[in-house]
Copies of this chain bind each other. A is one copy, B any other.
Amino acid sequence: MHFLKDFIRINHKGETPVYIQITNGFIHCIMSGHLRKGARLPGSRKIAGLVQVNRMTVVAAYDELQAQGWIEQIPRKGAFVKEELPVLSPEPLTGTNTGQESSIKKTHFSFDEERIFPVLTSGFPPEEMLVFNDGFPDPRLTPMEELTRSMRSLSRRKTQKKYMMYGGEQGTLLLRETMAENLSDTRGLPVTPENILITKGSQMGIYLTASILLRPGDEIIVGEPGYTGATFAFRQLGASVNYVPVNEGGIDVEAIEKLCREKSIRFIYVISHHHNPTTVTLIPERRIKLLELAAEYRFAIIEDDYDYDFHYTSTPMMPMASLDKQGSVIYIGTLTKTLAPSIRIGFMIAPQNFIRAAVYLRRSIDVQGDSLMENAIAELYKDGTITRHIKKSVKIYRERRDHLCALFREELGNRVSFAVPGGGMSVWAHFPGTDLAVLSSKAREKGLVIPDGREYDNAGRKFNTARLGFASLNPEEQQKAVAILKKLLQI
């Protein structure tokens, strides 16, 4: 049984005790068919010599094998592979069946890989790169000290221990109460804690809502160009997507009305502030009209207001949800833009029967959120930290917007065209006469990441336009970034 040496390879530095390593080696031997049912195992002394360990270690391994049910030890007869185990045909001895095998690349079963849309997964860009991202906040401003301090202090309190348990599928009551008060006070939303579900960012609100509403083939409406992250989720869930143009006033409601007359529409997905990607805000007459259409045609409105807090030309507009008296709107918001993308706290507001369904479904997806963090966030609302942080960031981001727009005008002149966004964290910049894909790839070589425009190109149109996030670049970084663009555009 010299092959045993191939299966039992001892790593004296590993975390696993040596006797378990021997145990597992024997199991691999059995599994690969080299030790058949009924086979007699070599004596412990023999194995000890073979793999250079103390005999007692082998004895412990045999006991373990017996405890786990792989072998049977019969006094004065020896140890035998259990008779109940199936007979396996031995695999050829290669380097890959010794427990040190390489990882598996492909499934043995088949599945419909085409059905899952590949999305751009960027990973974290290297430290030293300048990044015009999709319009994200600056994590250097995030009040992490306050958040971790609050989490720590809560976790020490005896009364908070229960929040480390299961039970928070809807979000903690403390956070829902706090949000209800805040949202009713600042956004005019008529909500109680029963109308709120705390989600993982706005994406989970979008996914839950669509999962509840959609049956395969259902007709829905989204703006074009629009937010790919939502459209992909809808298509994944079987929606038949109708694209409606977005212009300066937001999504085209006349086109929506026309579609409603033609077919039964399940829901309309609309971004009320700073449409992704074009940054426009939905104007009042269209908000009213949408609510009227929803009343008449009984579709649902998914109002994604991910960017509410960051409006600069006026105060943010009241959400459609706050004007909705009939129960047509599912309102989705998030703190990921307010705090940081990796702090995955979002919320959805809807009539109670809908929130109930969403809570049930959420249980199936990830059970619940991080309740202790939710309570910590509630504390930061209560002590004013979040309000102060929003005020401060709005001021800084507005300055950064103005700074970048000025730089574009001064440095890039007519090689870039854009409208100054009324809010949000990005500029929708068109590059006439430049191939954006080429520019993007050249810029990367110079240490600048800029989108190549493909992401928004649902319908295969050539936009040659990119969302350039300004919020996470300070003035100095913006100067460096624009200098790189200027050079590449040979101005």
CB distance from A204 to the nearest CB of B (A): 4
Interface-lining segment among A159-167, A396-404, A435-443: A159-167
- A289 interface residue, CB < 8 Å from B? yes
A140 and B157 alpha carbons, distance in the complex (Å): 10
- Whether A103 lies near B16 (C-beta < 8 A) is no
Other contacts beyond A30-B288, A108-B294, A119-B364: 8, CB < 8 A: A108-B327, A109-B298, A133-B165, A139-B162, A200-B366, A203-B366, A232-B363, A342-B369
A369 and B82 alpha carbons, distance in the complex (Å): 44
* A interface bracket (residues with beta carbon within 8 Å of B): 35 or more
- A124 interface residue, CB < 8 Å from B? yes
Interface-lining segment among A49-57, A180-188, A413-421, A477-485: A180-188
Interface-lining segment among A239-247, A315-323, A426-434, A451-459: A315-323
One of B15, B144, B340, B366 near A387 (C-beta < 8 A): B15
- Whether A185 lies near B68 (C-beta < 8 A) is no
- Whether A357 lies near B289 (C-beta < 8 A) is no
Interface-lining segment among A38-46, A145-153, A460-468: A145-153
Q: In chain A, residues 306-328, which have Cβ atoms closer than 8 Å to a Cβ of chain B?
A: 313-315, 317-318, 322-328
Among all A-B residue pairs, the 5 with the closest Cβ atoms? A67-B314, A139-B164, A200-B366, A124-B167, A144-B155
- CB neighbours of A368 from chain B (8 A): 341-342, 344
- CB neighbours of A86 from chain B (8 A): 285, 288-289, 292
- Whether B108 lies near A298 (C-beta < 8 A) is yes
CB distance from A283 to the nearest CB of B (A): 5
Q: Mark A266-310, 1 if CB is under 8 A from B, else 0.
A: 010000000000000001110011011011001110000000000
Q: Which residue of the partner chain B has the closest CB to A267?
A: B109
One of B85, B195, B292, B300 near A288 (C-beta < 8 A): B85
CB distance from A326 to the nearest CB of B (A): 4
Q: Which residue of the partner chain B has the closest CB to A142?
A: B164
A288 and B30 alpha carbons, distance in the complex (Å): 10
Q: Which residue of the partner chain B has the closest CB to A196?
A: B103
Q: Which residue of the partner chain B has the closest CB to A315?
A: B20
Q: Mark A185-217, 1 if CB is under 8 A from B, else 0.
A: 110101110110001110110010000110110
- A75 interface residue, CB < 8 Å from B? no
- A73 interface residue, CB < 8 Å from B? no
- A105 interface residue, CB < 8 Å from B? yes
One of B113, B121, B156, B340 near A363 (C-beta < 8 A): B121
Q: In chain A, residues 1-60, which have Cβ atoms closer than 8 Å to a Cβ of chain B?
A: 11, 14-17, 20, 23-24, 27-28, 30-31
A165 and B372 alpha carbons, distance in the complex (Å): 21
A107 and B302 alpha carbons, distance in the complex (Å): 12
- A410 interface residue, CB < 8 Å from B? no
One of B121, B167, B203, B328 near A364 (C-beta < 8 A): B203
- A343 interface residue, CB < 8 Å from B? yes
- Whether B67 lies near A201 (C-beta < 8 A) is no
- Whether A161 lies near B139 (C-beta < 8 A) is yes
- A370 interface residue, CB < 8 Å from B? yes
Q: Mark A117-150, 1 if CB is under 8 A from B, else 0.
A: 1110111110100000100100110101100110
25 contacts between A and B (CB under 8 A): A27-B284, A64-B315, A68-B314, A101-B190, A103-B194, A104-B351, A105-B351, A106-B327, A106-B352, A107-B328, A109-B267, A111-B212, A111-B357, A116-B357, A119-B363, A133-B165, A142-B164, A148-B152, A149-B152, A152-B152, A163-B342, A165-B340, A232-B364, A236-B364, A342-B372
